[in-house]
Amino acid sequence: MNKLTHFDESGQAHMVNVGDKASTQRIAIATGKISMLPDTFKMVEAGSHKKGDVLGIARIAGIQASKKTSDLIPLCHPLALTHVSLEFQINANDNSITCQVKAETTGPTGVEMEALTAVQVALLTIYDMCKAVDRGMVMGDVKLLEKSGGKSGEWRAL
């Protein structure tokens, strides 16, 4: 059984020592979605090409949140992101919006948490902007899709 690296041998939390890890290019891609009522979905969809641009604002919120990851997640290392982008997909079949984030850096630690944090905050921002008309929206399927770089190399969700 592998161990949880965020704890030392006595079981105490620490910020893992990455001083000896090689600096490599790191990429992570994460995704998540928010499901809503058909009427709410239509409003968001409308805003994306005329006024009331919910997704444009959620995109900015996600980018800014990725920069706050080490402030939000206690044992995350601070790092200098070299790239963050968010794409939204509008799913008319089930009235949901999918958010996919790609984050990159060059350094000793990965950017999985930065990508996932951007997804979560982008979804929360959509929720915030639509909650006046639909409090029952549900956020889910938030997960890492793939990552590369570092000693563990490439990983892809099944």
36 labelled binding-site residue: no
Considering beta carbons, is residue 83 or 92 the nearer one to a second copy? 83
CA separation, residue 57 to residues 12, 33, 51, 76, 127 (Å): 39, 16, 12, 26, 12
Q: CB of residue 93 vs a second copy: minimum separation in angstroms?
A: 19
Task: Report the nearest approach of a second copy to the CB of residue 35 (Å).
Answer: 9
Q: Which residue among 39, 128, 134, 141 is the active-site one?
A: 128
Beta carbon of residue 130, minimum distance to a second copy (angstroms, whole number): 6
> Is 83 annotated as ligand-binding?
no
Q: Is 113 annotated in some ligand binding site?
A: yes
- Based on C-alpha coordinates, what's the Rg of the chain? 17
11 Rama class: left (phi>0) / alpha (psi -120 to 50) / beta = left
Nearer to a second copy, 7 or 91 (CB): 7
Token pair listed for 119 = 């997804």
Is 39 an active-site residue? no
96-107/83-91 β-pairing: antiparallel
Sequence letter at residue 6: H
6 or 92: CB nearest a second copy: 6
Q: What are the residue numbers of the active site?
A: 128
Q: Which residues carry a binding-site annotation for substrate?
A: 75-77, 113-114
